[in-house]
Amino acid sequence: RCCQLKSDYDKGDFTIKYILSGEGAGEVFAIDEYTGEIRTVQKLDREEKAFYILQAEALNRLSEEPVEPQSEFIIKVQDINDNVPQFQNEPYVTSIPEMSPVGTTVAQVTATDADDPMFGNNAKLIYSILQGEPYFSVEPKTGVIRESTTPAREQYLVVVQVKDMLGLSGGFSASTTVTVTLSDVNDNGPIFQHHLYTFAVPENAEVGTTVGRILAVDGDAGINAKMTYSLEDDLEESATFIIHTDPGTQEGVLVLAKPLDYETKRRFVMAAEALNEHPDERFLPLHEFTDRTTLKVVVEDVDEPPLFLQQPYEWKIPENAALGTVVGNVSARDTDIHMTINDRSFFTTTVHPSLTREEDPEILELLHLRHTAIF
């Protein structure tokens, strides 16, 4: 039973006939034509239709003439708590910079309830944290999630629950997850793993040869870990080499820039610096965002052939010179040991293959010899 209509002319003798028209008449609502009692004939759902506008008439049963003017009334469907809250815009994924101050807003979750917000507490929602404390908290009325203490990991799965009826017993609830990732900030500077790097390179290495690699480690990630390497430019040693950053490994690659000579300089010592490309000014009081190390390059000797002091040697001797006559002297120099060689035991002498001995000694006035110095 919904309600009952009664005409002032109804004496209870069933001479009055009641008729119902309007929204839902005959389908949702039916009227007893004798008593004016209105009943529902199907289940009502406020979320589908919150009210109905109906018209009622009271007629003389014999003449079918109205005994009163037509009346209009509204039947409002009263809400009951029959809807579960639902979160919007799932899934929730967010990130916050690491080292963010306590109280930083992480995200806001929002749930809706299809029940009547104006009737009782059916649609009044309260949020709470099921998982994620003590690092995160949620404001009960707004669903705003805040950082409540400094997180210790890089990623968290926060579970938030919402209840209707202000969280009172007998209500409905739902939950959602919020994936919170800590994004990296540049709060670390590069640090070399060694105070001294030693490399060896042969003196005949070509310009452009990679001498060695150095590496400074940065605790950050991505762009915050990018660094550049440099050599002190006020030293003679530094001019012989250049250094650049390998973008794939973030290593400093030491490259030969000038030819080497073991006999001139056998060792190079220089300072190298690693500098963070994108320092964060907030952390400058904590880090210099740079580090230094020492590089030592040892030049390895390569055996070089001796060089004659004169090219070519030519002498003239009489055609009738006796055997054993001194024709001339040759000298060679070894740059490896810095000395001039005159001892005959270091030389060999051969006749050039294109020369032959003639019968007439006057034809051969000058004998060309090939001299080889052996060390």
pLDDT, tens digit, 9 for 90 and up, residues 310-329? 777 787 778 777 887 777 77
Alpha-carbon gap, residue 168 to 163, rounded angstroms: 8
Q: What is the percentage of the chain residues whose pLDDT exceeds 90?
A: 58
Q: Are 189 and 218 in contact (CB under 8 A)?
A: yes
Alpha-carbon gap, residue 17 to 98, rounded angstroms: 78
pLDDT of residue 357: 45
Mean pLDDT of 351-363: 48
Distances (CA, A) of 112 to 8, 93, 131, 133, 198: 47, 19, 21, 24, 67
pLDDT of residue 313: 76
Output the six-digit token pair for 33.
Answer: 């034509």
Topology alike, domains 3-76 and 86-183: yes
Q: Are 145 and 103 in contact (CB under 8 A)?
A: no
Tens of pLDDT, residues 106-162: 999 999 999 999 888 999 999 999 999 999 999 999 999 999 998 877 899 999 999
Alpha-carbon gap, residue 261 to 213, rounded angstroms: 22
Burial (0-12, 13-18, 19+ Cβ within 10 Å), 125:
buried
Higher pLDDT pick, 336 / 159: 159
CA 284 distance to own-chain centroid: 22
Verdict on whether the full-model pTM lies above 0.75: no
Distances (CA, A) of 222 to 143, 184, 243, 250: 32, 8, 22, 11
Higher pLDDT pick, 357 / 311: 311
User: Does the structure show a pLDDT above 70 at 84?
Assistant: yes
Parallel, antiparallel, or unpaired: how do β-strands 191-192 and 144-147 relate?
unpaired
pLDDT of residue 326: 77
Q: Are 106 and 96 in contact (CB under 8 A)?
A: yes
Distances (CA, A) of 26 to 1, 20, 32, 38, 40: 14, 8, 11, 10, 9
User: Does the structure show a pLDDT above 80 at 274?
Assistant: yes
SS3 state at 222: helix
**Residue 360 gets which letter from DSSP?**
S
Q: Going by CATH, does the domain composed of 191-300 fall within 3.30.70.330?
A: no
Q: Where are the alpha helices (DSSP H) in 22-152?
A: none
User: Does the structure show a pLDDT above 70 at 277?
Assistant: yes
Alpha-carbon gap, residue 372 to 370, rounded angstroms: 7
Alpha-carbon gap, residue 181 to 221, rounded angstroms: 14
Q: What residues does each domain of the chain span?
A: 3-76, 86-183, 191-300, 303-375
Tens of pLDDT, residues 239-270: 899 999 999 999 999 999 999 999 889 999 99
pLDDT of residue 311: 74
pLDDT of residue 330: 73
pLDDT of residue 364: 41
Output the six-digit token pair for 125.
Answer: 């929602």
Distances (CA, A) of 224 to 188, 190, 271, 289: 8, 10, 24, 11
Higher pLDDT pick, 164 / 372: 164
End-to-end CA separation in angstroms for the chain = 126
pLDDT of residue 131: 96
Q: How many helices (H) and strands (E) does the chain have?
A: 1, 28
CATH topology of domain 3-76: Immunoglobulin-like (2.60.40)
Task: Read off the pLDDT band of 355 (50, 70, 90).
Answer: very low
Q: What is the mean pLDDT of the chain?
A: 85
pLDDT of residue 365: 42
Alpha-carbon gap, residue 166 to 171, rounded angstroms: 8
Q: Going by CATH, does the domain composed of 86-183 fall within 2.60.40.60?
A: yes
86-100, 238-252, 271-285, 333-347: least confidently modelled range: 333-347
Task: Read off the pLDDT band of 284 (50, 70, 90).
Answer: low
